[in-house]
Structure formats: structure tokens, C-alpha cells
Chains A and B, each alone.
Chain A
Amino acid sequence: MAKITYIEHDGTQHVIDVKTGLSVMEGAVKNNIPGIDADCGGACACATCHVYVDAAWKDKTGTPSSMEESMLDFAENVEPTSRLSCQIKVSDELEGLVVRMPESQH
């Protein structure tokens, strides 16, 4: 279990306990948090689960696969801290993680 803070583009915060083993995307979708669409349900095929991971969490959230990197390279509003949240697995290590959502996923 890890407490994750999801921040919508307009600043609205959602603090959610997400079970170990789920992805950061699933934590948002299963709790109906707006701003993460996840059209492909975690197949790394859509890039509509794009989030910005606070710099302090870069190492703990792991390195993106080459598939994720090239999806991100062509997504909109990308920043160096961009990740696809379906590719970040939740563990106790991520207690306190903060992710921010882009203005739009499409």
C-alpha cells in the first residue's frame, strides 16, 4: 500500500491509498479521478495515462521501457518528468508519491 497524491491540472488534489501491485494509473482510474483516461487499460498503447512525476521520485519510479519512451516522445505536453502511469507499479517504496496530470490526455 502507498499513499499517492494525484494533482489535476487545475490544482485539485486527490490523496489515495493504492494497493501494492496495481499501477499508478489503476489507482486513479479505479477511484474515478479525472485527468487519467487510460484508453488502452494499461497496454502501453495509448499514452492517455500521461503524468508528471515529481523529480524527487524519479529513481524510485524506475526507468521507462523503450516502448514507453518512444510513446512519450510523441505525446503532447511532454516534459522531462513525463511518465505513462500504467507503467509505474505501486510498492511500499512509493509511499508519498506525487504525480501531476497534464491539461489534456488527447
Chain B
Amino acid sequence: MQPQDSKVVIVGAGHGGGLAAAYLRQYDHTGLIVLIGEEPIAPYQRPPLSKAWLKGEADAESLKLKPDSWYAENNVDLRLSTVVSEINRGARTVILSSGEVIGYDHLIIATGARARALPIPGADLNGVLELRTAADAERLKAAIGPGKKLAVIGGGYVGLESAASGRALGAHVMVIERESRLLARVACEVLSSFFQSYHEKQGVAFELGASVEALEGKDGHITGVRLADGRLIECDAALVGVGAVPNEELARDAGLECTNGVVVDLDARTSDPHVFAIGDVTHRPLPLYERNFRLESVPNALDQAKHAASAIMGRAQPAPEAPWFWSDQYDLKLQIAGIPFDADAILVRGDVASAKFAVFHLKGDLVQAVEAVNAPPEFMMGRRLLEHRTPVSREKLADTTISMKEVAV
């Protein structure tokens, strides 16, 4: 059988799954693709759910990766509201919860991640929300009109973006974070304190270093968040944004190697040569940093969708890319490239107070990561310097009168 005739089954019709189908077709794969997803809608983009869509600046149609008609036109058998309950690697089949069995030549696992639940009393009250899917976003939007009180539990990106959108819609927002600073897992202290003061200026209140003991309610609906020190933060709704866990159970039950995600190589191949995994569910190699890691970002899902599609088609892999990410809050555009592994110094370029700056994480004269706020040159050039492992001069980098084009040594 030629690679282009192989039958590909994709489990999970999210960002990665949808893109894998699209890249296979772009790379001239002509065999049947079966794309199976639990959600009732065709693959869509999640980033706007906490940003433009939540603020009412983007409609549901614009979120979709492809128009609904694309799938049939391209011989992609899209099965929505359908759950895969088992993978049988010996027989090369997947089994649906309905009992139906579907065979594959190549399987792509793109099951993503789910919002981490808070194991505390009251977590099942009405008005306790999470934000992972379009359906979650509808519930959140309905809960944050003018004057409504929203408690955001967890000061990560999803929490802060929702706080910003909540303010834009006129809601009162309180962010409750267990750590002593925001974005503790994902950004440096300069950024944490910058984002905190920016949000405070926009009217968001914070409780840092605060642990949540229970969610309290009346008639089955949340009325407040009880902190460990006994205080009650009153609210009409609470958004729980305390991270995500990979949906790796299917893979693990099928005997595929998993460690905080399905372990894959640079072709996005799992320990079974017929099975690939992509996106938030994977634990992948990061050659730039000589280690493995689980990423949660659109660029990563895209990168791995290309890897899996290329490997299936026997195509050369695209050049490796540095991981990157973006976040929009108010008029701030945050762009991050790389991960600050092994960095020995932090260098701030630009003026934090004027909300236009970048934080470089350096290892000797190499850029390990850059976090840029309203600073596209620093992001664009920083990403290139880090991908090409180009040494930079710290003096030049710290001097904003020297263009980012001139900072290499």
C-alpha cells in the first residue's frame, strides 16, 4: 500500500486533530480519514474563548478551523458527539462507546487536555465553571454581565484573560491564586508583577497566597468562595482555572508509554509505529533544550500535526521550531518564545512602566526564552536568535537605541 492510500483514524476533533486532517490532505494523502470527536461541533480554535469571543468580538463561525462542508468535500468522515472508548493495537482498531469498531492503518491520538478539577466541597454547585470548550465558554459568558461578581480561581493565562474579558463586559472580578504571584508556573516575576498591576488598574482585585477551602452556595447555586483563613469572597459565579491534565487514559490503557502525556518522538510517533499522538496530550522532545516536556499551545499542536502528517506521507519534516505562545489582555499583546530552561540571567529590554518591554532569559550569551509585551521586534528577533542558537551581546540587548537586528555578537 502507498502511504497516500492508508486509512487514518484521528481520535479527538480539536485543534490538533482538525489540523492533522487538513495537513494530510494538503500533502496529497487521498485515503479515508476518520476524525472522531466527543464535542458536538467541528474542530475550532480555543484561544478566542477567553478573549475576542468572550468579549463578543468574534462569532462562533469564525472560530471554526474549516467550514462544515470541508470535511465531506475532502473525504474526511467527521464523527461528532462520538467517544472512542478503547484502542486495540493488536487488531489496529478503535472501539467507540456505541460498540462500533473502526480499523486503521495509522492512528493519531489528539485527545488534548481537560481542565483540572478542584477537589473541594461545593465544586459541583451551579455557577462553578471551567473553560476548555465552546460549551464552557457559553456558560461563562452567560454568567458575566454588567455588575455580576466573578471569582476566578487560578491566576494563569486562562484565568487572567477571562478576568480581562469579564472587566470589558462590566463584571466585578476577583482573582484568587494559591501562589504568592500570578502566572507562577509559566512566566517570570517581572511579568507577574507587571500583569498584576495592569489588571489592578483595570479594576481587578487579587487575593494571592490564598488557598480555597470550599465553594459555598444556596439552593444549589454558588454564592461565595471560602478561603482557608475563614474569609468568604462573595460571587455569582466562579471560574476554576487551575491548569489542565492530559487525556492520556486511552493511550495508557492501550499499553502506550505515558509520563505526564503520551511519549512521542520528533515524528510525533508513540512507542507503537502505527500510532501517533499530537498536541496537549503529548510529552515530546524539545531538541533545543535537550529534554522532554508537555506543552499546551496552538503552535505546538500545529507543529506536531505537521510532524505526524509528514511521517505518514514519508515527507521530509519541516525545520524544528522553538515553542511559542501568545496571550491578549486589554491592549496588551504578550508573545513568548522558548522556555527559560537552564537560564542563568534575566535581562529586561525596554520600559516596564510604559507597557512596552521584553524579558530575555539568557544562558551565557544564548537566548533561552523571551517574553515580550507589546514588543513584536523583540519577540520576532528573539525567537530567531534562539532557534538559530545565535550568541547575543548583553550590552547591546539591554540598549533600546540598538535595533534588535544588531544585537547578535
Contact = CB atoms under 8 A, between A and B. Distances in A.
Q: Do A and B come from one complex?
A: yes
The secondary structure that dominates the A interface is loop
A17 interface: no
A70 interface: yes
A45 B333 CA distance: 8
Contact of B335 (A29, A34, A41, A45): A45
A71 B298 contact: no
A43 interface: yes
Given A40-B326, A44-B333, A30 B48 contact: no
A39 interface: yes
Interface residues of B, number: 32
A67 interface: yes
A98 to B, nearest CB: 22
A32 B380 CA distance: 26
A26 B48 CA distance: 15
Interface string B26-64: 100000000000000000010110000000000000101
A44 B333 CA distance: 9
Given A44-B333, A47-B380, A71-B380, A39 B26 contact: no
B299 interface: yes
Given A32-B66, A106-B318, A74 B380 contact: yes
B22 A40 contact: no
B267 interface: no
Interface of B: 22, 25-26, 45, 47-48, 62, 64-67, 70, 74, 298-299, 302, 318-319, 321, 324, 326, 328, 333, 335, 374, 376-377, 380-381, 384, 404-405
The 8 closest A-B pairs by CB, nearest first: A74-B380, A45-B326, A70-B376, A71-B376, A41-B45, A39-B299, A74-B377, A34-B26
